[in-house]
Amino acid sequence: MRPARRAPAGEAATADAHDWADVFIDFFERRTTGQLLQLWFGIIVICGAVYWLSGASPRRSMLMEFGQPVTFNAGGLLKAMYFSFVTATSVGFGDVLPVGPARALAIAEAVAGLLIFGAVIAKFVSRRQERLVEETHRLAFEDRLDRVQTNLHLVLSDLQAIAGLCDESRVPPARIRARLESAVLVFSGELRTIHDLLYRPQQTPEEPVLEGILATLAAALQELGDVLACGAPANRSAMLTSQLQGMTRLADGICGECVPRAYADHLREWMDRVKAQAARLT
């Protein structure tokens, strides 16, 4: 048995860096905008308190203002908080300067402040983008529903016209068959879309809209069943038979007890009517 190959030191270091980067990014992604703002202000207050407390001993004061140490009093507290705030925002006017260990602390505060504040800005931008995407999806979804309703009405009108041709003996069967196959192809696609709306919805349509779709679907299935019952076309092509079988399977899943969602009773009745009409197709 071969021993496991050890990753080179460079690859291991790169993997560790990626892991730390992922942890760092996940930390900010899991925080809300309010939590990030609280963290940002918390860092400013804590660092400001550290700067101010160092002024308890003038010899160890971490801040200097015009060459004089910032004192340990109320005015010194305000100056320490002021310095902490301008450091976190990376403004740095230069009137108050860090000395000694405060320089390292100020650098760390500036880096942390910029990262956190940048994450807050990213959150605001991301929220705006999410709203725009949601609005785009909503408009696309409404347009999709409108197209489904329009196509169903066109299919219903076409099937009614084909039913009228069945009563005319002078119309060639091949012409009726071609027109019926075309209508069934469109019908099958719209039925598949309706099935997806019920089982895999990105967004649930409003009940009045869904009721209109189901009512038109039931009427179109009934008209298709009547056309097939009248003997048009007498010899079904393999394509037509396959499409009818697929439509039957799809419509069989549209029933009040099948759809994984609670709807009003009148919608469940329409779903059961769709299933019953589809049973006539084969």
pLDDT at 33: 84
Does 67 reside within a domain? yes
Total structural domains within the chain: 2
One domain, residues 84 and 144: no
> Model confidence over 143-192: pLDDT tens digits?
888 999 999 999 999 999 888 887 776 777 788 888 888 999 999 999 99
One domain, residues 142 and 94: no
One domain, residues 39 and 80: yes
pLDDT at 233: 58
Mean pLDDT, range 75-85, rounded to an integer: 93
Does 105 reside within a domain? no
Residue 33: CATH number of its domain = 1.10.287
Residue whose token pair is 């200097």: 64
**Across 137-151, 195-209, 212-226, least confident range:** 195-209
Does 26 reside within a domain? yes
Q: Is the pLDDT of residue 200 over 90?
A: no
Does 110 reside within a domain? no
One domain, residues 91 and 148: no
One domain, residues 138 and 47: no
Does 113 reside within a domain? no
By the 8 A CB rule, do 106 and 98 touch? yes
Of 78, 100, 122, the residue that ends a domain is: 100
Q: Is the pLDDT of residue 4 over 80?
A: no
| The three-state (H, E, C) secondary structure of 105-138, written as one string | HHHHHHHHHHHHHHHHHHHHHHHHHHHHHHHHHH
Of residues 141 and 282, the one with the higher pLDDT is 141
Residue 85: which pLDDT band, with cuts at 50, 70 and 90? very high
Mean pLDDT, range 93-101, rounded to an integer: 88
Of 77, 100, 123, the residue that ends a domain is: 100
Q: Which domain holds residue 187?
A: 133-278
What's the CA angle centered on 21, arms 20 and 26, to 5 degrees? Answer: 100
Does 1 reside within a domain? no
Q: Is the pLDDT of residue 115 over 70?
A: yes
One domain, residues 244 and 154: yes
Tell me if the pTM is above 0.75: no
pLDDT at 101: 86
Residue whose token pair is 């092509």: 237
Of residues 253 and 260, the one with the higher pLDDT is 253
Instruction: Name residue 69's beta-bridge partners.
Output: 64
pLDDT > 70: what percent of the chain? Answer: 89
**Using CA atoms, how far apart are residues 109 and 117, in angstroms rounded to an integer?**
12
One domain, residues 196 and 261: yes
One domain, residues 93 and 154: no
One domain, residues 64 and 155: no
pLDDT > 90: what percent of the chain? Answer: 27
Does 254 reside within a domain? yes
**Across 59-73, 194-208, 244-258, least confident range:** 194-208
pLDDT at 93: 84
One domain, residues 274 and 141: yes
Mean pLDDT, range 85-94, rounded to an integer: 88
Structure tokens at 94: 């230069």
Does 6 reside within a domain? no
One domain, residues 65 and 164: no
One domain, residues 238 and 180: yes
Residue whose token pair is 């080179």: 8
* Sequence-distant (≥ 6) Cβ neighbours of residue 31 within 8 angstroms: 39, 119
